[in-house]
Amino acid sequence: MNIKAKLVISICTFILSASGYAANTVMADSTKQDVHSQAQDDNKDLKKKKKDDGKKLEKKNEYDELIKKGGTIKKGLFTVRHIEDKWYFEVPDSIIGRYLLAVTRLTAVPQGLGKFSGEEVNENTLYFEKRDDNTLLLRAYVLSQIAGDDTNISKTLKASTTDPIVASFKIIGKNKDKHMNLVEVTNLFLKDNDIVSIPKSNSRTYGVSGLQSDRTFIDTMKVFPINVEIASTRTYSAATSGGVDSSSDVASLRRVFPPASFTGSVTIGLNTSIVLLPSEPMRKRLWDERVGYFTTRITYFDDDQHKT
């Protein structure tokens, strides 16, 4: 073999070797990038997992820390906890969606009011609804329109109507063993509302205006298997411009309702009974003045009404 042939073979061998080295280098760099990218993804997943675990731990700790504070515990329809100056319900999952009858009555009244202990102040049908893992809603069941279950119009009526949300509660924690949701209900019974208090529409009847929160208290909560009894003392500013007899004359108001004119305040005792209604509603019947049932005025819809 001559020198030129040997030289050509040597050059080809060198080129092939260089190409192989370059290919190996590219593959090595690509592998490094893949490993680096995978490491970054793993770090992100780890950080996310730690963050989620931290949130779960924080929520768990909030529930556990509250329970550790002790307080009084009463078990019945709800497990009622009184911790420091706050009140809590543990609402079982089995109660969510069930109808509850809330009836508020007078237990103590000022002289001259014209109302007496035992008289009904408010009445509503309520039910809990779980919006998500963090929120429990309280809705009022308002029935003013109805249609037969086997009619087409009933589907439209259900789809186009909704019950008002009267309260919203943060779910502090969940007792997983007993399937109960812990919520704070202090403000529901301390603040003024149209559900378990004197309705605004009746404020003039009782000669009251704004609620005085510093002189309003939850006295007791008694718990039974199908009901909870909440006793409260509520103080209002007196509606001195008119009062109970719609007269602006202060002398007239003083004769009729002395506490309002002398002190400018009206203190009233209330008791709210929350009673679990049967899971199967009682059969409806037409109103009869001889029968002492609760009555509700409703509008009845039927498919036959639209026939010509």
27-41 burial, b at 16+ Cβ within 10 Å, e below that, comes to: eeeeeeeeeeeeeee
pLDDT tens digit sequence for 164-188: 999 999 999 888 777 899 999 999 9
Please report which confidence band the pLDDT of residue 287 belongs to, taking 50, 70 and 90 as the band edges.
confident
pTM above 0.75? no
Question: What pLDDT does residue 258 have?
Answer: 67
d(CA 124, CA 275): 11
pLDDT in tens, 253-266: 555 566 666 778 88
pLDDT score of 75 more than 80 = yes
Q: 176: buried, middle or exposed (CB in 10 Å: 19+, 13-18, 0-12)?
A: exposed
Among 16-20, 30-34, 73-77, top mean pLDDT goes to 73-77
pLDDT (tens digit per residue) in 23-74: 555 454 555 555 555 656 666 666 666 555 555 555 556 778 888 888 899 9
Q: Find the angle CA(6)-CA(11)-CA(17) to the nearest 5 degrees.
A: 125
Per-residue pLDDT at 115: 86
Burial of 87 (0-12, 13-18, 19+ CB in 10 A): buried
Q: Which residue has the higher pLDDT, 239 or 91?
A: 91
Q: What is the pLDDT of residue 3?
A: 54
Whether 207 and 246 have beta carbons less than 8 Å apart is answered as: no
What pLDDT digit, counting tens, does each position of 121-148 carry?
999 999 999 999 899 999 999 876 777 7
Mean residue pLDDT across the chain: 78
In the chain, the amino acid numbered 34 is: D
